[in-house]
Structure 1
């Protein structure tokens, strides 16, 4: 479980986060949604340590990420897996090398142990036998799967996904959503996903936080979202044809 308490962040005179508090639940897909410029990416970056918040706390199973000592921070970082928006694969490395990278950087495992773990993760995301291929030789959807394999190779307790369906066709997006949800439940991970994809909201939105102009205006499940009485969320949702069709 991840708890964030009163997270505020400003860049010079521009206030981006105005005091966000919420809980991201273990074993569930926790979505952060909202329009462009609402603070979603900044919030994610404060959670993984890329941007320090001006005020507030980020708690990982009760451990304060920013107030903890170096040992606590390092332990939490080792428990994180991150799927970046563009995949962020190294073009000059094979699929296997890309997935193995966190193990090379953060563990003392033998090469045999690392190869075994990489093979397991590639098989889990449906890419068995692709380890020696280069990123240029695989599709966009496969690159996202490689990114997921790399994100879980350290057996993380916390998985962060930044727009996992960006640039993918609808069918591939559905498959990536299903894979993330399966992995979340199978390994009991606390998964946090930033998304604009309303199909993702309706299919895997087990716990959703809606941000608007730096504030959190609504929290709930996808079964509740179409009945929201929050005007800003209604406008965000029903500008999308899928949700207009579902509106009672």
Structure 2
């Protein structure tokens, strides 16, 4: 369980997050949606420690990530997996080396244990035979799957995905959504996905938070999404539908 309480963040005179609160449950995928510049990615960065909020609390199973000492923060970070928007793979490392990188940095496992665990994760995302390939030799969708394999290699309790479908075609996007959802349920991970993808909202939106101008103005699930009476949310949904139609 992750809880955020009254998160606020300003950059200069710009109030990016204005008192955001919410909870994220194990075994469920929670989507944080909203237009560009509404604070989604800043919220994620506050939750994983890349940005320090001005006010508020971030609790991981009751542990305050913001006020804990360095060792407590390190312990929580070891329980996180992060899939970055651009996959963030190392071009000079093979696919297998990319996946095992967190094991090299954060564990004392033997060489065999690292290889076996990395290969196991690649197998889980359907890339068991791609370990020797370089990132330049694989497609964008495969890079996302490598990023997911790396994100779960440490058996995380918490998984964060920043725009996992960015730059992907609709069919590949669906496959990535399904993979994230399956892994979340299979390993009972607490998963937070930052997205503006309409398909993701309808397919894996077990819980959805809609941000507008730095505030949480709606919360629900995919079933209640299209029945919202929130003007800003309806405009966001309609704009997404229009973009989808133009892409066909």
Same fold (TM over 0.5): yes
Is 1:75 the counterpart of 2:75 in the alignment?
A: yes
1:194 aligns with 194
Which segment drifts farther, 234-243 or 200-209? 234-243
Contact residue 87 and residue 143 of structure 1 kept, 8 A: yes
SS of corresponding position for 2:211: strand
Aligned to 1:223: 223
Once the two structures are TM-superposed, the CA of residue 94 in structure 1 deviates from its matched residue by: 0.2
Corresponding position of 1:144 = 144
Contact kept? 1:226, 1:243, Cα under 8 Å: no
In the alignment of these two chains, the number of paired residues is: 245
Sort the Cα spacing of 1:114 and 1:17 in 2 relative to 1 into closer, same or farther, 3 A.
Answer: same
| 2:32 aligned counterpart, secondary structure | strand
| Gap regions ≥5 residues in structure 2 | none
TM superposition shift of 1:243: 11
- Structure 1 residue runs of 4 or more that deviate by more than 4 Å after TM superposition: 242-245
Tell me what 1:123 maps to: 123
Residue 11 (1) aligns with residue 34 (2): no
Give the secondary structure class of the aligned counterpart of 1:240: helix
- Counterpart of 2:48? 48
Residue 38 of structure 1 aligns with which residue? Answer: 38
Structure 1 runs not aligned, ≥5 long: none
Cα distance change of structure 1 residues 24 and 120 upon mapping to structure 2, 3 Å threshold: same
Q: Distance in 2 between matches of 1:185 and 1:240?
A: 27
C-alpha distance in 1 between matches for 2:51 and 2:81: 17
Contact 1:238 / 1:244 at 8 angstroms: preserved in 2?
no
Q: TM-score, normalised by structure 2?
A: 0.97
Deviation at 1:242, TM superposition (A): 7.4
CA gap of 1:187–1:225, structure 2 versus 1, over 3 A, is same
Per-residue CA deviation, residues 61-93 of structure 1 (Å, 9 max, x unaligned), is: 100001111121011000000000000000000
- Tell me if the contact between 2:84 and 2:161 (Cα under 8 Å) persists in the aligned partners: yes
> How many angstroms does 1:215 deviate by?
0.2
Separation (CA, whole Å) in 2 of partners of 1:242 and 1:79: 39
Q: Distance in 2 between matches of 1:242 and 1:109?
A: 50
How far is the alpha carbon of 1:239 from its aligned partner?
Answer: 2.2
Deviations 1:186-210 (A, max 9, x none): 0000000000100000000001000
2:74 matches 1:95 = no
TM-score, L = length of structure 1: 0.97
Using the TM superposition, give the Cα deviation of residue 241 of structure 1 relative to its aligned residue in structure 2, in angstroms. Answer: 2.5
